[in-house]
Amino acid sequence: MGLASATIKEMPFLVWLSFVCLLALPLSGQPKSSVPTAQPGTDLDGDTLPDAFEQELLERFQPRFFLSRNECADLPAEFAANEPEPRPLAANGVIYGQAFSVEGKGGPWIELHYFHLWARDCGRWGHPLDVEHVSALLATPEETTSSAASLTSTPVNEWRALYWYAAAHEDTVCDVSHGAHARALGAERHGAKVFVSRAKHASYLSRERCKFGCGGDECKDPKEMEVPRVINLGERGRPLNGAIFASSNRWPMAQKLGSDFTETVRQQLAAGSPKKIVAVNSGLPPVRATILAGEEILSGAGTGMRHTDGALQNGAEATDNALNTSHEATGNALKSGYRATESAVGRAFRATGRFLKGGKTSNARAESAGATEAAPNDASTAKP
Ligand SMILES: [Ca+2]
Ligand SMILES: [Ca+2]
């Protein structure tokens, strides 16, 4: 004992300090100094979710996209990073993702968006740039999450999808956006199958539903697209990976960065049959019903109203006057093209016009309120 005390006293102070530190090491042998000090995960898009966590979720639930073989725009495009206006670099199938938390009764949840961005809409009345997307609402296994802070404590592989949503002619009179229980689609633990209509690029959770959207969409002989990667574009005003083009006013993308699973939509989906695909966003059902009637009339002439949305882009955001203006533009275009042979079309659109001006419309079609049987979304071509 005396020898030990004498030895320690004779040690230089620093050597003694090192000795004490070594004794204090945990059994693992890892020096404490190598562990980062309570550094939260990088969150450059400011949504409280670590960006690496977002990326893992996005990759885990990445949908499988099926394109028509006669698609005219090739593949979704990758856009130049750090440029304020969208400039397509290559049509290479890149998907842009977004992940953020959603609060609400029964939540919080995490919502994922998957954007397929196109250099152009190559359908009738096409236009440069085309923003389309699907989304998923995720929950923890037992829905025990009680606070936003606990979201990131659940490992990525324990999350499951509750619902999927697919935008189809969103915010137009032809809006046939829809959702379904992930279980019905067989897509609770991974991405759903998504069918993309030719040229117009509307998204559908079943191929059978692809004929909706004012009746002109088609998903012919669909082929799965290879997705090289999903790029997290961050949040509105807080882009990641240089995706500042998302807020450009050259396309209606910024408004698609909010939640698709509003309280209303969640209630619609929860109340609907867990085995069916449910129409949501039916903000203008009588208008669409009338146009569907017009499409039926036109179907024999092979024209359809499939491109009405081009003229009525963002119609849902418009006031009655704006809608009326859009309607008139559409009506004029249609009348100029088919006046001689399709007087019935004019009748259909005059009926739409009466509705838009506050009058009544008939021919309301049940589709808008209806639901169709969910297709076995990933039963036939499920990945191993
Ligand atoms: Ca984040
Ligand atoms: Ca995010």
- For 202-231, the pLDDT digits (tens) are 999 999 999 877 778 999 999 999 999 999
139-159: per-residue pLDDT in tens?
987 655 556 667 888 899 999
Adjacent-strand bridge partners of 362: none
Adjacent-strand bridge partners of 90: 78
* 153, two tokens: 């404590």
49-79: per-residue pLDDT in tens?
999 999 999 999 999 999 999 999 999 999 9
- What's the gap in Å between 155 CA and the centre of ligand 2? 17
- What's the gap in Å between 106 CA and the centre of ligand 2? 21
Ligand nearest to the CA of 41: 1
Ramachandran region, residue 186 (left: φ > 0; alpha: ψ -120 to 50; beta: rest): left
Please give the pLDDT value at position 284: 52
Ligand nearest to the CA of 58: 2
pTM, two decimal places: 0.69
Comparing CA positions, the residue from 67, 65, 120, 119 lying closest to residue 97 is 65
- What's the gap in Å between 158 CA and the centre of ligand 1? 19
Ligand nearest to the CA of 44: 1
* 241, two tokens: 């990976």
| Residues sharing a CB contact under 8 Å with residue 235, sequence separation 6 or more, in sequence order | 45, 46, 47, 98, 100, 257
- What's the gap in Å between 40 CA and the centre of ligand 1? 11
Ligand nearest to the CA of 52: 1
